[in-house]
Every structure is written in C-alpha cells, then in structure tokens.
Amino acid sequence: MREVATRESWRDLKFSARYLPLTLRKVYTTGEWENIKKGFIPKIMEDKWFIFCELGKLFFIRSWSKNCIYC
C-alpha cells in the first residue's frame, strides 16, 4: 500500500499565481479517482513530480525546484 501524499509530505513548497490551471477532460471511475488522489511522493532523482490532492484539487509540484506548476 503506497503512502498518501499531503502538502506536508514535501518541504518548502512554493506557490504563486503563476501556476497553470489543470483541466482534466477525462471522466474517472470512483476507484481511479481514489487512486489518483493519493498523489505521488518522489523517491529517486528521476521522479520529476510531487503530486498531492487537497480539497478536491490536484497540485503538481516540480520535485527539484518545489514550484507548483499545475493545479
């Protein structure tokens, strides 16, 4: 069972008004959405994204710069 990503799972996140809104056009099943909203915590250098869900929104953070790119 993988760890659920939260805002606190990654240090020093940077949020600004410059991120791009992310519009998902695909419809996901309840099971798929439950899996997606667990997010993703990078474990190795090649993992480029930290992803977490908060209040029904997905946040995509570049793992190296810690900048929010999509929300």
Residues spanned by the domain of 20: 7-70
Backbone φ and ψ of 58, nearest 5°? -90, 135
Determine, yes or no, domain membership for 66.
yes
Q: Quick one: pLDDT at residue 44?
A: 93
First and final CA of the chain: distance in angstroms?
25
Nearest to 20 by CA among 54, 65, 60, 66: 60
Q: Which residues of the chain have pLDDT under 70?
A: none
The average confidence (pLDDT) of the chain is 90
Q: Quick one: pLDDT at residue 16?
A: 76
Determine, yes or no, domain membership for 31.
yes
Say how many domains are in the chain. Answer: 1
Q: Where are the beta strands (DSSP E) in 7-56?
A: 49-54
